[in-house]
Amino acid sequence: MFIVRTRISTKAAAPPGHAQPPSRRVGTLVVTIAVLAGIVASGLFFSGSNAGATTAAGASSASSSSPSALVPVIVRDDPSSGAGSQQLLATLGGHVTQLIGIINGYAALLPQQAVDTLRQAPGVASVTLDQKLQLTTSTWDTTPALGATPDLAAIASNPGIPGWKSTASYTTMNAVTELIGAQDLWADHDTGNGVGIALIDSGTVPGNGLTGQVITGPDLSFESQSSTLENLDTFGHGTHMAGIIAGRDANATSLKQLTNSANFVGVAPGAKIISLKVAASDGATDVSQVLAAIDWVVQHRNDPGLNIRVLNLSFGTDGNQDYKVDPLAYAVELAWRKGIVVVVAAGNEGSSGRLNDPAFDPYVIAVGAEDMNGTPGVGDDTVPDWSSRGSSTRGPDIVAPGKSILSLRDAGSWADLNFPSATVNDRFFRGSGTSQATAVVSGAVALLISQSPNLTPDQVKYLLTSTADRLPKADRQGQGAGLIDVKQAAQQSLPRRGVTQNYPLSNGAGSIEAARGTSHVADGGVEIYGEVDIFGQAWDSRSWSGRSWSETSWQGDLWMGRSWSGTWEGVSWAGRSWSGRSWSDNVWDGRSWSGRSWSGRSWSGRSWSGRSWSGDYTE
């Protein structure tokens, strides 16, 4: 699962008469509030914490006693004036430390006594003192592979190697689908056919295993500005999830081929994945981008050819405000009430005492991870220590296989480049986390809905939780109702009463900053913080929640009145190739988060619920 990380574009503003094409920009500069300006009225604050942070800190310390001391500021030029302020800045004794193209502005150091002069100059929209913020990070698992592992064909051809297992280092999807009973539904021709599964993640890449399986929704990530990266998964997470949910080798068209362990087949091979890219090559995305993506899913759920009935969120933050006011909780509840089953990763925080946001919302299906321990039965299955337990009032609803899951490799992605030991037989990649478990459950939900299209989200949740298999060696808190058994769920009758959930509803009127938790975007040491979206507009939670419910938050390519670069054509892959190119050769080289290098940093411990890419996690 991924926890929200956002990043602002560093492209400098285009020179006069050379505007950037709107279709490639994160947001057109029609906004009237600076993205990075610390406007007190809207609660917007940023910090500088990269190169220059020490200088800025020293300047701030000295500013109280010396009017000539340099202070860190965020400057936004008025794009309609045609004038720039950088020459005046230099005349006043200041200098630019970072261009911030998305706001037509920059970060700078400026003598304190000159701040008002620059602020009042023609063509300057705003000058705001920069503020500091400290955040925490976590680390990737770099445990090396346990040894060479045979490919899927070798497993199938060698009777001495069970189809569900090669070595202790990974678990195949054939093993997963057999364990949870998915193959039994395939035998009844229920493969997820006709069901659309929205995957809000880092995008996907075309290739064998996803050919014909993916429809691209809008790209709401910061890479939507690049025609070579738009909709493509430069991180590696989304492709891994897509393979688990609905991957299928092209030759796997019959039941015999679907169950043949030499083929790669996800849980719901007949379903379609609607991919909405919100995360960039380092996993960076903001809560507001995820909210926009959920809004899009709700508004387009009934579009021709989509039929979105499932929403996969292998994502979460460590925000801890009450779900009854939390914007993310409201968004997933809205999708739920509109008929979409929302499956959310519980998180990888072990016994932290809380599920991630929005998994803590009681309506959705919160998924923990299960470890098969290399056997086809459940007698020795456990829940890994890192799988979030939640609290006595809200824990995981169910668990699904999430340890060392073998899915599709995204060659040249961030994960691929940084964790080569997770590669298996060139084509596959190994990952652990509640992300993977969530993808398994999303596929299982699609199977149930393809069998019984009139099922409501509450009924689906009841069927899965009431038929789950208890794990005798796993703790009760960690496993929730137990391991999903989709075969039993498909055979279970619905009672007349006791299925409908009636928890207090969220109104979404809380803080978007609180929903972020400790995860913030940074670019050049400048972090976004406060009640704003990524466009820098003040966040009006009540206005958004009302428009979200009425399905009017999206108007064409505008979300809440803001223009987005991500455009949707409603088509499947049209010959675009990834060819294993590296994202690092194209964009965002040397980006930072919370003032730390992304190199060796982890989405797994904070946002995306993929615990590790090498199969075993060590704290």
276: three-class secondary structure by DSSP: strand
Whether residue 281 lies in the annotated active site: no
Contact 325, 507 (CB under 8 A): yes
Contact 133, 529 (CB under 8 A): yes
Contact 246, 273 (CB under 8 A): yes
Contact 440, 343 (CB under 8 A): no
Question: How far apart (Å, rounded) are the C-alpha atoms in residues 96 and 371?
Answer: 52
Question: How far apart (Å, rounded) are the C-alpha atoms in residues 445 and 455?
Answer: 10
Question: How far apart (Å, rounded) are the C-alpha atoms in residues 553 and 576?
Answer: 30
60: three-class secondary structure by DSSP: helix
Quickly tell me which residue has 């939390």 as its tokens.
326
Question: How far apart (Å, rounded) are the C-alpha atoms in residues 232 and 249?
Answer: 20
Specify the DSSP class assigned to residue 532.
Answer: B
Tokens of 40: 């007190």
What percent of the chain is helix, strand and coil (3-state, nearest 5)?
25, 20, 55
Secondary element (H or E) of residue 86: helix 86-91
Tokens of 409: 């490799």
Contact 339, 433 (CB under 8 A): no
Question: How far apart (Å, rounded) are the C-alpha atoms in residues 592 and 595?
Answer: 6
Question: How far apart (Å, rounded) are the C-alpha atoms in residues 138 and 604?
Answer: 8
Annotated active-site residue in 130, 141, 201, 485: 201
Question: How far apart (Å, rounded) are the C-alpha atoms in residues 70 and 68?
Answer: 6
Q: State the virtual CA torsion across 221, 222, 223, 227 in degrees, nearest 10.
A: 100
Instruction: Give the length of the chain.
Output: 619
Annotated active-site residue in 130, 237, 432, 485: 237
Contact 358, 313 (CB under 8 A): yes
Three-class secondary structure assignment of 297-311: HHHHCCCCCCCEEEE
According to DSSP, the residues that pair with 432 across neighbouring strands are 612
Question: How far apart (Å, rounded) are the C-alpha atoms in residues 35 and 126?
Answer: 11
Q: Are strands 529-530 and 522-523 parallel, antiparallel or unpaired?
A: unpaired
Whether residue 65 lies in the annotated active site: no
Whether residue 240 lies in the annotated active site: no
Annotated active-site residue in 166, 407, 413, 435: 435
Instruction: Report phi then psi at 125, rounded to 5.
Output: -80, -40
According to DSSP, the residues that pair with 106 across neighbouring strands are 75, 99
Question: How far apart (Å, rounded) are the C-alpha atoms in residues 281 and 588?
Answer: 8
Cis amide leading into 358 (omega within 30) = yes
Could you tell me the strand order of the sheet in which 562-563 lies? 554-555, 558-559, 562-563
Residues designated catalytic: 201, 237, 435
